[in-house]
Chains A and B, each alone.
Chain A
Amino acid sequence: MGLIFQIIRIATPYLFAAAGGTIAERSGIVSLGLEGYMLTGACAAAFGSYYGGTVWSGILWGALGGTTLAAIHAIATIRFRADQIVSGIAVNILAVGTTRFALRVAFGSSSNSPRVPGGASGVLEIGGLLSIVFVALILDTTRFGLRLRAVGEHPEAATTVGISVNRIRAIAVLASGALAGLGGTFLALDQHQFSDEMTAGRGFIALAAVIFGRWQPFRVGAACLLFAAAEALEINLQGTSAIPSQFVAMIPYVLTIVALAGIVGRSVPPAALGKSGH
C-alpha cells in the first residue's frame, strides 16, 4: 500500500539516527548531538552529490560528514571528559553554523543549495530499516556488542576484565555519527537540495524514539515508525482534519515525556549513561 511506503519514507531519517543513538547511548554516551550529525550529513551529502556528480558520492560524504561531527563530540567527552550534555548542545550549534557558512561560501546563498542529483530510490529506505536490524544484531550476537552493553551498564566491571571502555565508547559515538549522517543524507538527496536547518528537529525525534523505545533496537524502530505514521496521517488529513497539524506534530514529544514521567512503565536507561569516566 502506498501509505506504508509513505510511512517508511518519512521514517527513514528517524530510523537511521535512532539506530545510531541507540548504539551510542547503550555504551553510556548521551546523544544530544544526533540533530547536528544529521544536519552535517545532509549538507555533506548535498555537496558530495553536487561536486561528485553521483548519488553515491553523496551518500559517502554524508556518512563522513556525520562521523566528523561525532568525532568532535567523542574527543570532547571521552578524551577530555567534558560534560556530555553541554558538548551535545555545542555540537548542534556548531553544525548549524558550519553548514550555513558552507552554503554561503560555496553557493552564495544562506538558505539553500542549488538542485543536486539525488533520489537514490529505495536504497536508503531499505538502509534505514536495515540499520535497526544491524544494530540489534551487533548488540545481541557479537563480541563487540556484549562488551558495549557491559560498558554502558557497569564500566568498572568491564575495566576489571581488561576492556577498554573509552575505545568502545568512541567507536559507538562515531558509528552514531555515520548513521545519523546517513539519515541526513536521505533528507538531502530526497529533496534534491540542502536547505538551512532542514533537519528541523528530526534528530531530537530520533532521540525521543530511543528513549521511548527503552534503548532496545526493535522497540526503537517501532517507535520511529509510530512517529512517522502520525506524521503521515497529518499530511494526508491536512485541511480535512479537526486536529490541527501542530498537535499531530507534538505527538512524538508528548509521548516521550509521558514515558519519561514513568506513567507508561519505568523507563530505565543504561546505568552508566551520562557519566564520563568510570
Chain B
Amino acid sequence: MLSLEAINKNYGTVVANRDASLTVATGEIHGVVGENGAGKTTLMRIAAGELRPDSGRVMLDDRDVTGWSVTGAIAAGVGMVHQHFMLVPTLTVTENMILGREPVFLDRRRASQAVRDLSESTGLAVDPDAKVSDLSVGEAQRVEILKALYRGATLLILDEPTAVLSPPEVDDLWKVLRALRDQGSTVILITHKLDEVMAIADAVTVMRGGQTVGQFKTSDVTSADLALAMVGRELAEFFTPAARVSNGAPVLEVDNLVVGHEVDGVSFTVAPGEIFGIAGVEGNGQHELIEAIAGYAKVTSGSIRRGGTPIERLSVRRRGELGIAHIPDDRQRRGLVLDYTVAENLILGRERSFGRVRLDRMKMAIEAQRLITAFDIRPHDPRRLARTLSGGNQQKVVVAREMGGIRDFHLLLAAQPTRGVDIGAIETIHAHFRLARSEGRSVVLVSSDLSELLALADRIAVMLRGRFVAVVDRADASAEVIGRYMAGAAA
C-alpha cells in the first residue's frame, strides 16, 4: 500500500503541490485526475523517487521512504512510465530494456529471448529486435511498460498513457492493466480523461491547484461529479454580455482546417466585437490551431480567411500588418526575448515602426512608458531585463505589446493568456480583453481555465482530439456542460 501524506513541493515561487495526500491500496487500479498544472505528475514523481518533497511523507507498506532515489524505488518495485518516453530511439527494444542492467558481454540472442518471454507472459506484444524509432507510439508505450516490469515493478505509475493512443490501442492497454491487477500488481493512472478513469479505475483521487480535493471509489461517483471537482471554483467575475454583437462581416473565417495530425478539420467564424473561447484540456490541438492562424505552423489543408482574404500562405509579419495580434502560450520561449529589456520587448515584431535604420530610442522610451502605465507592468522600469520580472508581469509585457502597442489589431489570438499569472495581473488582462471587445475588436481565447472562459467568452467551442465537439453560446454554457464536453462525454 502506498500513501502520500501532506506533500508540499515548490519550484521557486510556483506551488506545485500543497498539502497533497493520497492512499493507494495494493492490487487496485487508481486514477489521479486533474487539469494540466494541477500537480498530478509532480506528486507521482515524488512517489517514484525522482523528486524530493519539501515536506510531507511517503509511506510504502508502513515503511517511510520519503525522499528515496529512483534506484531505491525500482528496487522496492515502484516503476514509473513517463508521458514523454525515456527510450533511446536509435537502439532496439531489447537494448533499451536491458540498459542499466546488462550482462557484461551482451549476448543479444539470450537477452532477446528474455524480452520475448516477458512479452508473452504479460500480453504486451513487442518485437525485441525492432529499432525504437520504427515503433508506433502504442508499441513504444508497451516497451516502456515492459521496461518497468523487467525491473520487477509491482506498482506501476503511468503518466497520461492514453494521450497518444488510438481507441483500439486504449482497449489493449486496459486489457493489460486488468491482467496486471489480477496478478496482484498495483497500477496508478495519471490522466485528465474522466471517461477512461470511470472505465478502468477502482478508485480515483481528484487534484486541483496543487491540492488533493477528494478521493472516491469510482462506483460511488459519476464523471460529471469528477468534472465539477476538477474544474469547479467560485466564479470571481460575472459575465458581462457584449454591448452589441456586431453583425458585420466576420473578422476570421476558418474552413475545414487541417494541421498535421493535431488539427483534424476545424471550422468556425469570428464576428467583430466578439470573444470566441476555445475550451479543452491542453494537447487536443489548440496550440497547433493558433500557431496555424498566427502563421508559423504549416497548414495541411483548409483555409483561413481574414476579411475575405486567404492568409494561409502569408508570413507572420504580413498577418500582423493585417491586424492579427498573438499572445503565445509559451511566453518565455515565444513571447519574449528574456535578455532584452522591457522596452526592447515592447517593440518586438514592430521594430520597423521605430526606425528604418537607426532605432529611435526616444520614441521607444515614450512607448514603453505609455504601455507600462496603461498595463501596470511592475516594476515601472523600462530598462529592467524581462528575465527579472515575475511571470504575471512578463505576461503583461506581451499583452501590452500585442494589445496596446503601436500596431493596431482587429483580431487577437490569445493562447492561455493567464496561465501562471497572479490574480491582480489576471484582472488587468481581462479588463483589456473586455475593452477590446467594446471597441469592436475580436479575441480568440484559448484557455484550459474554464472560469476564465465563462467570464469572458460570448461563445465557447470545446476542442477534443483535433476537432470542435461543440460550440455553445454563453447563455447555454455552464461549468458542468463544458466540463462534460471536455471530459469526452456527451452532455
Contacts and interface: CB of A to CB of B under 8 A. Distances in A.
Interface of A: 141-143, 146-147, 149-150, 153-154, 156-158, 160-163, 271
B71 A162 contact: yes
B89 interface: yes
Contacts of A160: 50, 70, 86
A271 B101 CA distance: 23
Contacts of A149: 88, 90-91
B274 interface: no
Contacts of B88: 149-150, 153-154, 157-158
Given A141-B105, A142-B106, A163 B91 contact: no
B71 A146 contact: no
| Chain B interface category by residue count | 20 to 34
Given A141-B105, A143-B104, A162-B70, A150 B99 contact: yes
B101 to A, nearest CB: 8
Contacts of A146: 91, 95, 98-99, 102, 106
Contact of B89 (A142, A154, A161): A154
Contacts of B167: none
B87 interface: yes
B100 interface: yes
Main secondary structure of the interface of B (DSSP, over half): loop
Contacts of A142: 104-106
A162 B100 contact: yes
Nearest to B151: A161
Interface string B60-102: 0000000000110010000000000111111100011011111
Given A146-B91, A154-B88, A163 B106 contact: no
Contacts of A271: 89-90
B12 interface: no
Contact of B100 (A153, A154, A161): A161
Contacts, number: 59
A157 B95 contact: no
Interface in B431-461: none
Given A146-B102, A163-B99, A157 B71 contact: no
A154 B100 CA distance: 14
A263 B43 CA distance: 48
Given A146-B99, A149-B90, A157-B86, 14 more contacts: A141-B106, A143-B103, A143-B104, A143-B105, A147-B99, A147-B100, A147-B102, A149-B91, A150-B95, A154-B89, A157-B87, A160-B86, A161-B86, A162-B70
25 contacts: A141-B105, A142-B104, A143-B104, A146-B91, A146-B98, A146-B102, A146-B106, A147-B100, A149-B88, A149-B91, A150-B91, A153-B88, A153-B90, A153-B91, A154-B87, A157-B99, A158-B99, A160-B70, A161-B99, A161-B101, A162-B70, A162-B71, A163-B99, A163-B100, A271-B90
Contacts of B50: 160
Nearest to B100: A161
A23 to B, nearest CB: 16
A140 to B, nearest CB: 8
Contacts of A161: 86, 99-101
Most chain A C-beta atoms within 10 Å of own C-beta, residue among B71, B74, B91, B100: B100
B251 to A, nearest CB: 42
B98 to A, nearest CB: 8
Contacts of A158: 88, 99-100
Contact of B86 (A141, A143, A147, A154): A154
Nearest to A143: B102
A172 B103 CA distance: 20
Contacts of B95: 146, 150
Interface in B300-357: none
A103 to B, nearest CB: 44
